[in-house]
Amino acid sequence: MNTHQTFPDSVRWRTLGVASTGRGHAFSGEPCQDHHKMASLLNGDLVVIVADGAGSAEYSDEGARVASETCLALIAEQSHARPLSEQDYQKIFVATARSVANYARSFQLSPRDFATTLNVLHVTQHGTYNASIGDSGCLIQTDTNELKLLAEPFKGRYANETAFLSRRMVEKYFSFGSTTEAIKGFIAATDGIFDLLYQQDRINVESASALIECLRKQDPLRAQQELETFFQSQTLARFTRDDLTLVVGHSTTKGC
C-alpha cells in the first residue's frame, strides 16, 4: 500500500533571496547575470525560481529574467486546478524556452545570446517538486532535519560545462525530483553557491543547515546582512568567481 504525508492546507513560509555580482563580472564591469523569483500563489503554493545566465552570452541576464518570469506565470496558471506532473513541468520548460527564443528574435538576435539555466522549486499541499535544466540546484529539509536533493544538477564532462534552456536541451537533460514528505526548510541556489553545498554527490550538511538556520534564528534583515557578509568573505572568494544567488526558506507553521 502506498502512503504519503501531505502538507497542512495553509503553510506559511519565511523566505529570503540574496544575490551578488561575482568577482569575475565585477572586475569587467558586467552586471550580475543571475535572476531569482519567489511567489506565493493564490492556491497557497510557494514557487521559488533561480536562473543563471551564461557568462559567454551577451544578454544572458535578460534571458534569466524572461525565463524566470515566464516559468512562474505558467506554473501559476496551470497549477491552479490540479497538481502538476513531471511531464507538465517539462512542457512548461519547453514553453519557457520558446518564450525566451521569441523574445530574442523580437530584437533580431540569436536565442544563444540569452542562454540561461533554470531551476524551479514548487512547494504545494500535495508535495514538493523540483524541476531543472542546468547546474543550479535545490535542497529541502524534512521535519526530521534531513537534507535531501530532489533534482540532480547537470554534470558535463568538463569544468563549467552545463546545459542551457532550449527545447533540445530540455528534451535531453531535463531533471526532476519530488517528495511527499512534509518539509520545513529549503535552499535554492545558482552554481556559484550550490557547488559549495553539493560536492562529489554529497550534501555539505553543515553549511546547508547553517544557511537555513541563519534565517530561522533571526529576523530577515539581520539574516540578509549576515548572508551578504558571507558572500563577500575570503572563504567564498577563494572558492568561486561566479555570480552568487541564494534563496533560503523555512516554515513558520507549527507542526509542519
pLDDT for the residue numbered 84 = 97
Q: Give the phi and the psi of residue 99 in degrees, each rounded to 5.
A: -65, -45
Which one, of 43, 35, 39, 50, lies nearest residue 15 by Cα? 39
CATH fold label, 13-251: Phosphatase 2c; domain 1 (3.60.40)
Categorize the per-residue pLDDT at 11 as very low, low, confident or very high, splitting at 50, 70 and 90: low
Distance separating alpha carbons of residues 103 and 17, to the nearest angstrom: 26
pLDDT for the residue numbered 81 = 85
Distance separating alpha carbons of residues 245 and 53, to the nearest angstrom: 11
Categorize the per-residue pLDDT at 178 as very low, low, confident or very high, splitting at 50, 70 and 90: very high
Q: Which segment of 28-32, 78-82, 211-215 scores lowest on mean pLDDT?
A: 28-32
Comparison of pLDDT for 227 and 69, the residue scoring more: 69
Compute the mean pLDDT over every residue in the chain, rounded to the nearest whole number.
89
Number of CB atoms found within 10 A of residue 105's CB = 12
The answer to whether residue 76 scores a pLDDT higher than 70 is: yes
Categorize the per-residue pLDDT at 34 as very low, low, confident or very high, splitting at 50, 70 and 90: very high
Distance separating alpha carbons of residues 90 and 233, to the nearest angstrom: 37
Categorize the per-residue pLDDT at 241 as very low, low, confident or very high, splitting at 50, 70 and 90: confident
Number of CB atoms found within 10 A of residue 227's CB = 20
| 3-state DSSP assignment of residue 5 | coil
pLDDT for the residue numbered 25 = 59
pLDDT for the residue numbered 27 = 61
Domain boundaries, the chain: 13-251
Distance separating alpha carbons of residues 188 and 206, to the nearest angstrom: 16
Kindly list the strands in the beta sheet with 244-251, ordered across the sheet, starting from the edge strand earlier in the chain: 13-20, 244-251, 183-189, 137-142, 147-149
pLDDT for the residue numbered 28 = 63
pLDDT per residue over 203-233, tens digit each?
Answer: 999 999 999 999 999 888 899 999 988 888 8
Categorize the per-residue pLDDT at 239 as very low, low, confident or very high, splitting at 50, 70 and 90: confident
pLDDT for the residue numbered 35 = 95
pLDDT for the residue numbered 1 = 29
pLDDT per residue over 143-176, tens digit each?
Answer: 999 999 999 999 877 767 899 999 999 999 999 9
pLDDT for the residue numbered 238 = 79
pLDDT per residue over 98-140, tens digit each?
Answer: 999 999 999 999 999 999 999 999 999 999 999 999 999 999 9
pLDDT for the residue numbered 64 = 97
